[in-house]
Amino acid sequence: MERSSHALIRALWPLTVGHLLAMLLVALPFALLVTLVEWQRPIQIGASLLLIGFGLFRLVNRRHPRALARIRSTQLGLWSFAVAIAHGAGLMLVPIYLGLCRVADLGSGHQALAALITANFGMAVLVSVHSVAMITAGGFAAWLVYRYLGLKFLSRSWFNLDATWAFSLMLVGAVSLSISLASPVPAY
């Protein structure tokens, strides 16, 4: 360390910052989970209202954003990642991996799933096969529409996907809001 006590003192700052960042990286997700549990009901109500509001917005504002007409592959990959995270891809498996679901409390279908998950390699293969099948099926359907029906069909067809999406957002938001309001407030 440059044979200097001052260099030693200066080195303490980066060491401290590195350790603090490491602790944050490990502790922050658990702290966020605790906060999420404590604020579960307000978060559910807020998310429900946000869904209803966004559905209303999409119903009123039917213009498709021009910025989304042509996007780069990296932007498409980032969008896919964000949407997968937003709808909880993989999150539904966390309680099982954490051992929060006991096999004795589960139905026969869930017991079979628990048995599959305990075989980690097998589960990874099944998840991979599922992902490939979904991407292949979606890609093939998109190719069929593009190749045989054309893009004009999508913009002029009787099936208005934007309105359907808006209504589904409002419906899911309303159902979620009613469930959140009907459930008793948990005591912590």
Amino acid letter at 87? H
Higher pLDDT, 2 or 100: 2
Give the chain's mean pLDDT.
76
Which of 186, 174, 184, 188 is CA-nearest to residue 45? Answer: 174
pLDDT in tens, 126-174: 667 777 888 889 889 888 888 888 877 766 665 667 788 889 889 988 9
Q: How far apart are CA 2 and CA 7, in angstroms?
A: 6
pLDDT in tens, 106-139: 566 566 656 655 656 666 666 677 778 888 898 8
Q: How far apart are CA 118 and CA 100, in angstroms?
A: 13
Which of 39, 41, 60 is CA-nearest to residue 177? Answer: 41
Residue 49, pLDDT score: 93
Section 99-107 average pLDDT: 57
158 three-state secondary structure: coil
Record the pTM. 0.48
Q: How far apart are CA 145 and CA 170, in angstroms?
A: 27
Q: How far apart are CA 24 and CA 44, in angstroms?
A: 26
Residue 103, pLDDT score: 53
171 three-state secondary structure: helix
Q: Are residues 113 and 96 in contact, defined by beta-carbon separation less than 8 angstroms?
A: yes
Residue 152, pLDDT score: 75
Straight-line distance from the first to the last Cα atom of the chain, in angstroms, rounded to the nearest whole number: 51
Q: How far apart are CA 93 and CA 72, in angstroms?
A: 31
Section 32-48 average pLDDT: 82
Q: How far apart are CA 104 and CA 160, in angstroms?
A: 46
Residue 52, pLDDT score: 92
Q: How far apart are CA 45 and CA 176, in angstroms?
A: 8
pLDDT in tens, 6-36: 877 788 888 888 888 888 887 888 777 777 7
In b/e form, how buried is each residue of 135-146, taking b as 16+ CB within 10 angstroms?
eeeeeeeeeeee
Residue 95, pLDDT score: 59
pLDDT band at 53; cut points 50, 70, 90: very high
pLDDT in tens, 67-98: 666 778 888 788 778 777 766 666 665 655 55
Amino acid letter at 88? G
- Overall size of the chain counted in residues: 188
Q: How far apart are CA 72 and CA 79, in angstroms?
A: 11
Q: How far apart are CA 60 and CA 162, in angstroms?
A: 10
Higher pLDDT, 141 or 66: 141
